Copies of this chain bind each other. A is one copy, B any other.
Amino acid sequence: MEHPAARAGGILAELRRRSPLVHAITNCVSAPFTANALLALGAAPVMAHAPEEVEEMVDHADALVVNLGTPTAAALEAMRLALRRANARGIPVVLDPVGAGATGFRTRAALSLIAAGPPRAIRGNPSEILALAGGRGGRGVDARNGVEEASPVARALAAGGVEAVAVTGAVDLVTDGRREIRVANGHPLLARVTGTGCAATALVAAFLAVEADALSAAAAALACLGIAGEQAAEGASGPGTFAARLLDALQALSPGQLAAAARLTCSAAPGGTP
């Protein structure tokens, strides 16, 4: 098997060549930053959340994001319609269960989207992933649990049909139930800018649009954002200039630099066959 860092570089090159259209049904807090991150990466964003049009928009898209950042009944209906259509078309769907565990409304919404799908991938912080197995989750969108704590739930979700589950934190974990990749890129300032988690989910969707192996795609996306964060932090004087520099770094990151700077560690899942 090709080393995942080299592979990540190859996927990024393909993404830049194809510029996939990512349809995001997301929240009003992170929508601008998410769109800008996709544009900086080399993908194309489109946002549409009216139940009247989401299925038709999905027909244009190369990937779909469903994000529970500020859910409403209407947006959830749109997400269900879009998810079903995306699965019927065979394009990847990534779920971001923002705040799952914080309210029953969000937890139920996440579980119902998984049941209706499943999505090809899920990305969340440890508390959110734990909540998908009945955990209490964090306070709001805040993570109080460590990444490895959530790994059994991530593996269980993968066993249930989600092709890649990403738990992000100091060191990210991505699992497909058999194989695991840990991503040791990133910078603490990423947690001081709103929407970086939502952007990570959208980047995962963009990578999945051009790469069939969901595990490799998700790991590549997270490495990409993490490295951009490391580069942006050099010379940033705080979270405001960091956010601007993060977009600059995402655009400037070459496939070769990604392959060289990605800190990816592969292993077999406990009980899995690598």
Residues of A within 8 A of B (CB): 21, 23, 27-33, 35-36, 39-40, 44-50, 52-53, 56-57, 60-61, 69-74, 99, 102-106, 139-142, 191-195, 236-241, 243-252
Q: Which residue of chain B has its CB nearest to the CB of A253?
A: B238
Q: Which residue of chain B has its CB nearest to the CB of A252?
A: B238
Whether A240 touches B48, Cβ cut-off 8 Å, given contacts A57-B102, A140-B23, is: no
| Cα–Cα distance between A238 and B250 once the two chains are bound (Å) | 9
The answer to whether A50 and B31 have CB atoms under 8 Å apart is no
The answer to whether A239 and B57 have CB atoms under 8 Å apart is no
The answer to whether B27 and A47 have CB atoms under 8 Å apart is yes
Whether A36 touches B239, Cβ cut-off 8 Å, given contacts A70-B48, A140-B44, A192-B251, is: yes
The answer to whether B243 and A142 have CB atoms under 8 Å apart is no
| Cα–Cα distance between A157 and B247 once the two chains are bound (Å) | 38
CB distance from A114 to the nearest CB of B (A): 18
| Cα–Cα distance between A192 and B45 once the two chains are bound (Å) | 11
Which residues of the partner chain B approach A139 to less than 8 Å between Cβ atoms? 21, 44, 46, 60-61
CB distance from A40 to the nearest CB of B (A): 5
Whether A140 touches B60, Cβ cut-off 8 Å, given contacts A47-B27, A103-B48, is: yes
